């Protein structure tokens, strides 16, 4: 009996190619453009491209598509490298750039001219657009389409020398202006851009278009399987056309898969940048952003991101994935790994009137309920404590098992206490609870078998560590904000709430990059940018339970 899990369609193709001997080694590439930060959609592509070669002892190139220097920055290059490494992948010595191949690409373009299948067009951008036709009407040939090979070579070489202004000429492929596939209506191959490139400086003033540079770079690098998202499916005939004309020594195969679309997020770099420019978020790494940098800063574990991609699967059908799928991957990873601590996010003071004023006891607390090897820690306990405001209700319903006037509750790892008096300020707001404790009910003492239905967490007031805690939530209120005419109108006004919390002393030394569970509240991590010894800042990674589940199921479009 075969207990192996079924392969997705891409892995099946790769398996068949290896079995048949078509390829001895699988070679893939991840080709991001350094014009912004990578987002959750890229996680699927990274895990797929690097994953299939890890599984088959193949090789993956990290290739930067740096053919549009006006929008590309070194900051984005470094960020992309960090993101790929953080997800657990290594390109080793296979870091490349489209600009590494500028000379080869130029030579390939000249070869297309010599073959009579490329020409220099002198129409303006608007005229080219007008000649292109529509989805229902064929395009029209450019009046410059029949220039001779000699004239085209001369013009193209002068384009390279810098003899012409931006937009004065463009090199186009000569395919079919009546093709039903718009990508085959004489697509542009090179355009003039008098702008410095971040790697090649002023060496070039013409730059190849993506489809041409991508196809030929795949061929130059010996890529066997060029894995692209579905929006490139209509580009595949052009990909194959370049290979048919130029007949490179190595011929790659393009295969498309559905992109990862996550509910309540957008992944358009243009729209993400608009959020930054409008000060909706603080930058590309804002923990509410669907960027890998933002998710890392928020505290998402890389292992959970890989698990999430695995759960989504590789398919050929576009779908919108519920946010709960991602959050469940995070909860499962952190539930096993994160140690437990006590924190009070919205503090309400409790005074134990019958507890000695200057006494401090140390209570033993488990670091993890299911992992005894992680040991215990000591919690200070004293007369004045902080509890959560939500753990007290003055007019409580019958099934409210937390603290209420005259009611009892157990303090976790501590004693049973009873609320005797409620203290309010001049506006009628509750500012303090006066309670009494039962000294015979200390946890683990075995001196009393008294039980109560409710258990709440707490922090000793005198030893509590103040901290800013940032409570992050979904950035949008609708599952598919990209479908809203003005996506800014779908922003969630409660995507970030900041509270001044009280933490147990151990959290003052919480290591960066290590998640922790605030008992009963959720998973949290130190903010990598703003946290310091003098000013503690924690980010909520995810709540303990999915409070959005019912809302999300009702709001998600039918698949």
Which residues does the annotation mark as catalytic? 33, 259, 269
Block residue for tokens 């002068």: 158
> What is the crossing angle of helices 302-312 and 40-56, to 10°?
80
Query: What is the rounded CA–CA span in Å between residue 281 and residue 302?
Result: 23
Burial class of residue 235 (count of CB atoms within 10 Å of its CB; 0-12, 13-18, 19+):
buried
Query: What is the rounded CA–CA span in Å between residue 294 and residue 283?
Result: 9
Beta-strand relationship, 408-411 and 465-472: unpaired
Q: How far is CA 412 from the centre of its chain?
A: 36
Block residue for tokens 């900041």: 498
Block residue for tokens 């997020």: 265
**How many C-beta atoms lie closer than 10 Å to residue 333's C-beta?**
21
Instruction: Please say whether the beta carbons of 291 and 284 come within 8 A.
Output: yes
Contacts of 56 by beta carbon, 8 Å cutoff, 6+ apart: 14, 18, 25, 26
Structure-derived torsion over alpha carbons of residues 230, 556, 48, 244, reported in degrees to the nearest 10 = 0
3-state secondary structure 209-241: CHHHHHHHHHHHHCCCEEEEEHHHHHHHHHHHH
Contacts of 202 by beta carbon, 8 Å cutoff, 6+ apart: 196
Query: What is the rounded CA–CA span in Å between residue 312 and residue 296?
Result: 20
């Amino acid at each position: 009996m075969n207990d192996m899990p079924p392969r997705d369609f891409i892995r099946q193709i790769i398996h068949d190619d290896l079995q048949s001997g078509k390829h001895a080694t699988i070679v893939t590439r991840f080709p991001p453009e350094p014009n912004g930060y990578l987002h959750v959609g890229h996680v699927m592509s990274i895990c797929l491209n690097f994953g299939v070669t890890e599984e088959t002892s193949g090789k993956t190139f990290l290739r930067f598509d740096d053919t549009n220097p006006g929008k590309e920055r070194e900051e984005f290059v470094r960020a992309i490298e960090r993101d790929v490494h953080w997800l657990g992948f290594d390109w080793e010595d296979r870091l490349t750039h489209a600009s590494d191949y500028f000379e080869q690409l130029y030579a390939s373009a000249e070869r297309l001219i010599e073959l009579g299948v490329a020409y220099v067009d002198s129409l303006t951008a608007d005229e080219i657009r007008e000649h292109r036709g529509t989805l229902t009407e064929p395009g029209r040939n450019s009046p410059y389409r029949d220039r001779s090979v000699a004239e085209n070579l001369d013009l193209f070489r002068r384009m390279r020398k810098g003899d012409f202004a931006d937009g004065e000429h463009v090199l186009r492929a000569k395919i079919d202006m009546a093709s039903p596939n718009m990508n085959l209506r004489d697509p542009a191959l090179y355009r003039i851009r008098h702008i410095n490139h971040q790697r090649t400086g002023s060496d070039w003033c013409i730059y190849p278009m993506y489809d041409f540079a991508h196809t030929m770079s795949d061929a130059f690098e010996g890529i066997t399987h060029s894995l692209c998202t579905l929006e490139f499916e209509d580009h595949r005939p052009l990909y194959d056309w370049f290979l048919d004309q130029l007949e490179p020594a190595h011929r790659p195969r393009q295969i498309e898969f559905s992109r990862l679309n996550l509910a309540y997020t957008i992944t358009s770099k243009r729209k993400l940048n608009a959020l930054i420019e409008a000060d909706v978020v603080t930058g590309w790494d804002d923990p509410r952003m669907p960027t890998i940098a933002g998710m890392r800063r928020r505290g998402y574990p890389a292992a959970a991101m890989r698990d999430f991609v695995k759960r989504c699967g590789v398919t050929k059908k576009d779908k919108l994935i519920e946010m709960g799928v991602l959050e469940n991957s995070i909860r499962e990873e952190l539930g096993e790994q994160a140690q437990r601590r006590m924190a009070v996010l919205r503090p309400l003071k409790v005074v134990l009137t019958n507890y000695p004023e200057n006494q401090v006891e140390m209570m033993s607390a488990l670091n993890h309920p299911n992992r005894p090897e992680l040991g215990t820690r000591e919690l200070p306990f004293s007369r004045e404590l902080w509890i959560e405001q939500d753990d007290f209700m003055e007019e409580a319903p019958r099934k409210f098992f937390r603290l209420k006037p005259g009611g009892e509750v157990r303090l976790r790892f501590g004693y049973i206490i009873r609320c005797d008096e409620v203290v309010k300020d001049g506006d009628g707001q509750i500012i303090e609870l006066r309670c009494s404790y039962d000294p015979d009910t200390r946890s683990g003492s075995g001196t009393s078998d008294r039980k109560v239905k409710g258990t709440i967490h707490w922090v000793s007031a005198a030893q509590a560590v103040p901290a800013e805690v940032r409570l992050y939530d979904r950035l949008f209120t609708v599952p598919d904000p990209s479908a809203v005419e003005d996506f800014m109108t779908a922003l969630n006004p409660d995507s970030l709430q900041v509270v001044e919390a009280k933490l147990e002393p151990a959290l003052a030394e919480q290591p960066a990059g290590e998640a922790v569970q605030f008992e009963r509240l959720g998973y949290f991590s130190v903010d990598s940018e703003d946290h310091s010894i003098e000013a503690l800042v924690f980010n909520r990674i995810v709540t303990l339970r999915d409070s959005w589940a019912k809302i999300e199921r009702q709001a998600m479009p039918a698949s």
